């Protein structure tokens, strides 16, 4: 009979897939963050290419990068909450930690965007301030859902996903603290099962209300809930996962998603995607997350541990928030030196030159943000965490 340690090394070349090691920093998840933010950049600024080509398909489904962020965030935050559930400083620990991680750069981008538009005399100052005020209190996505359009202040456009996450985590810590794990699991499963029908009902009620399923919080919680379910199940007792089984499930659900995207038309605004397409995306990414956790540390996930992806994942929050400021900055530079940079053409982001310039500029801004703004606050967060009561089982990871 094989011992447990011997059995764990089978089929992995001596490397054990860390399916049961859900706590601590998981470097492969930084790689997944990098994949998510690269998809978003391709969706927003990717070069023009022939319709139907592979690159065109990648750009067309780049919006799914946000859904990958949702699944990752649901997994990590739920794990943090569950591991600190019995702590006397539970709420203090969570909300101070989240505030120090999210708010400094978020409000810096919010303030800087409005000031830059005022200096550049873009749009009405009163209108810009009115739009920014909704994002000041994390209700920007609600305004977009009811008005039917994204904000005119361009840098605020990507922030809708952060509104959804913070609205979810305003209530979720209370549920984790006060509800038994089994009941919490049923709640999360209910969110997953009801999200698709809710989107379908809204589509049936008004199929021309295109944006509501995309940005309204009740319509986009299935990814967060699936990530939370994985974190919860991992902490409810032994979870013996067969690596081959997990891999086949991930391949099957990813393949089903590809078929559904082909049938649904790729674009997030199509009716088939707006109804049950988001559910397919969330399920596929949840299976990919479970695959990554199962093969953590093995050769199958070595590509997620490559240094460039690790670095992009580390600064992905800054890349996501600063992508539009990076685009605007490059646009200003190209407009000033356009004839020398692009002979005979004006600035256009949908060229390889434009996409590369936006990517480099955005990564540079995010790197500056990481070293000057975000990392100092993260150190303050870590000092705060060490000052509160120790938690059994360690920390669930970083977000």
Task: Express each pLDDT in 263-306 by its tens digit.
Answer: 988 999 999 999 999 999 999 999 999 999 999 999 999 999 99
**Reported confidence tier of residue 34, pLDDT bands at 50, 70, 90:** very high
Q: How many CB atoms lie within 10 A of CB 263?
A: 12
What is the C-alpha separation between 154 and 341, in angstroms, rounded? 24
Say what the pLDDT of residue 236 is.
85
The pLDDT of residue 384: 66
Q: Report residue 348's pLDDT band, with 50, 70 and 90 as the boundaries.
A: low
> Does the pLDDT value for residue 10 go beyond 90?
no
CB 187 within 8 A of CB 145: no
- 237 belongs to a structural domain: yes
Average pLDDT of the chain, as a whole number: 86
Instruction: Answer whether residue 158 shows pLDDT above 70.
Output: yes
Work out the average pLDDT over 124-138. Answer: 90
Distance in angstroms (rounded) separating the CA atoms of residues 77 and 188: 14
CA distances from 381 to 2, 208, 317, 334, 387 (A): 44, 45, 16, 39, 10
Instruction: Kindly give, in sequence order, each residue whose CB lies less than 8 Å from that of residue 57, ignoring residues fewer than 6 positions away.
Output: 266
pLDDT band at 382 (very low <50, low <70, confident <90, very high): low
Task: Name the residue range of residue 270's domain.
Answer: 22-387
Q: Max Cα separation, the chain?
A: 75
Within 10 Å of residue 116's Cβ, how many Cβ atoms? 16
Chain segment 178-187, per-residue pLDDT in tens: 999 999 999 9
Identify whether 127 is part of a domain.
yes
Residues ≥6 apart with Cβ < 8 Å to 385: 93, 97, 395
Q: What is the distance between the alpha carbons of residues 72 and 278, in angstroms, rounded to a whole number?
A: 15
Task: Name the pLDDT band for 191 (thresholds 50, 70, 90).
Answer: very high
Tell me the per-residue pLDDT of 195-251, one tens digit each, with 9 for 90 and over. Answer: 999 999 999 999 999 999 999 999 999 999 999 999 999 988 778 889 999 999 999
Query: How distant is the alpha carbon of residue 333 from its chain centre?
Result: 30
- The whole-angstrom separation of Cα 280 and Cα 286 is 10
Residue 15: inside a domain, yes or no?
Answer: no
In-domain check, residue 1: no
Domain-embedded: residue 392 = no
pLDDT band for position 120 (cuts 50, 70, 90): confident
- Distance between CA atoms of 1 and 6, rounded to whole angstroms? 10
Range with lowest mean pLDDT among 24-28, 112-116, 293-297, 383-387? 383-387
- Answer whether residue 350 shows pLDDT above 80: no
pLDDT at 19: 37
Q: Which residue has the higher pLDDT, 8 or 132?
A: 132
Q: Treating both helix axes as pointing N-terminal to C-terminal, what angle do 222-234 and 64-83 enclose, rounded to 10 degrees?
A: 40
Q: Higher model confidence: residue 119 or residue 62?
A: 62
CA dist 78 and 228 (Å) reads: 5
pLDDT interval class at 91 (50, 70, 90): very high
Question: 7 lies in a domain?
Answer: no
**Residue 399 counted as domain residue:** no
- How is residue 303 annotated by DSSP? G
Range 330-349 average pLDDT: 63
* pLDDT of amino acid 399: 44
In a domain, 140, yes or no: yes
CA distance 83 to 76: 11
State if pTM tops 0.75.
yes
Please tell me the total count of domains within the chain: 1
Judge whether 199 and 192 are in contact, CB under 8 Å. Answer: no
């Amino acid at each position: 009979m094989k011992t447990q340690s011997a059995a764990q090394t089978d089929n992995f070349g001596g490397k054990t897939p860390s399916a049961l090691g859900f706590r601590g920093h998981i470097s492969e998840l930084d790689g997944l963050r990098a994949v998510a933010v690269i998809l978003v950049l391709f969706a927003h600024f990717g070069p023009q290419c022939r319709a139907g080509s592979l690159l065109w398909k990648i750009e067309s489904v780049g919006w799914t990068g946000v859904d990958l962020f949702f699944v990752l965030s649901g997994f990590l935050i739920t794990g943090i909450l569950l591991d600190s559930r019995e702590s006397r400083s539970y709420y203090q620990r969570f909300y101070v930690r989240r505030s120090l991680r999210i708010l400094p750069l978020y409000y810096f981008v919010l303030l800087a965007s409005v000031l830059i538009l005022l200096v550049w005399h873009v749009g009405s100052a009163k209108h810009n301030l009115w739009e920014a005020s909704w994002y000041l209190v994390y209700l920007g996505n609600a305004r977009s859902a009811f008005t039917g359009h994204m904000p005119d202040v361009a840098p605020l456009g990507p922030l809708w996903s952060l509104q959804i996450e913070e609205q979810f985590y305003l209530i979720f810590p209370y549920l984790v603290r006060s509800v038994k794990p089994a009941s919490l699991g049923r709640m999360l499963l209910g969110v997953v099962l009801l999200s698709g029908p809710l989107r379908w009902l809204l589509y049936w009620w008004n199929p021309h209300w295109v944006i509501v399923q995309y940005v309204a919080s009740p319509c986009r919680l299935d990814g967060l809930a699936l990530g939370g379910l994985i974190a919860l199940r991992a902490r409810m007792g032994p979870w013996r996962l067969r690596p081959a089984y997990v891999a086949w499930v991930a391949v099957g659900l990813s393949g089903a998603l590809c078929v559904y995207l082909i049938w649904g038309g790729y674009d997030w605004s199509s009716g088939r995607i707006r109804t049950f397409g988001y559910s397919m995306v969330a399920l596929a990414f949840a299976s990919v997350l479970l695959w990554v956790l199962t093969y953590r540390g093995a050769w199958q996930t070595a590509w997620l541990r490559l240094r460039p992806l690790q670095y992009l994942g580390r600064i992905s929050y800054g890349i996501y928030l600063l992508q539009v400021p990076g685009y605007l900055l490059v646009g200003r530079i190209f407009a000033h030196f356009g004839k020398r940079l692009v002979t005979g053409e004006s600035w256009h982001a949908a060229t390889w030159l434009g996409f590369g310039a936006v990517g480099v500029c955005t990564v540079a801004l995010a790197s500056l943000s990481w070293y000057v703004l975000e990392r100092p606050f993260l150190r303050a967060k870590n000092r705060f965490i060490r000052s509160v009561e120790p938690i059994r089982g360690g920390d669930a990871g970083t977000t």
